[in-house]
Amino acid sequence: MAFGQPEFVKELNRLGVDVSRETLARLETYAGLLVKWQAKINLVGPATLPDLWRRHFLDSAQLLPLLPAAPGVLVDLGSGAGFPGLVLAIMSEWRVHLVDSDQRKCAFLRQVALDTGVNTRVAIHAQRFEAVAGYKAEIVTARACAPLEALLGYALPFLGENGRCLFLKGAQAEEELTAAEADWNMQVERRPSLTDPAGTILVIEQLKRRKRQ
């Protein structure tokens, strides 16, 4: 069965998230730009385009209930085509920093942010993570960015006091957690993914490097 706007709205309603007509219109604009730019540069797996509303928009939007009620600062690492960071910016009032070293993908992100009207709340950094400094966030997000052990190192400099990581992970989440726990102390909560039966949302708090013996 095709998964489109009605199914997207229904799934989010089940999570307690209301989706306005204005938000849907912005996501439609996003979808149109993604299809247009995909013909020129590889933004997402081509096979996922027909299932865009589930594989990319819902996969990103399922993080909305995990955001604190009061909008703050969110840093999205390895933003690529904007998932999940740009979707969260469109669907909330959060101030979002999108970080990706690919110049062409960042050009796409700028166009989407402008055309959807969220450019005043979205900053795009066409740099490596290590080169972006000075932003402390309540939330750090990432999807298909790096193995967890490395990802935690990238995230730590951006985490403000009581900051939280929301990482969309696939079937290897437990193996990655086991590897990461050798170098990191953290509080971890696992949430099932709405869009991937083998996927997990890792909610990570109280992140600290282990002291070397």
Query: Domains of the chain (ranges plus CATH)?
Result: 5-209 (3.40.50.150)
| CB proximity list for 20: less than 8 A, separation 6 or greater | none
State yes or no: pLDDT of 1 exceeds 80: no
Burial of 103 (0-12, 13-18, 19+ CB in 10 A): exposed
pLDDT at 128: 93
Contact criterion met (CB below 8 Å) for 59 and 85? no
- Could you read off the pLDDT of 118-158 as tens digits, one per residue? 999 999 999 999 899 778 999 999 998 999 999 999 999 99
Specify the pLDDT at position 46: 93
Model pTM greater than 0.85? yes
Rounded CA-CA distance 23/163 in Å is 27
Tell me the pLDDT tens digit for each residue of 160-204: 999 999 999 999 999 999 999 999 999 999 999 999 999 999 999
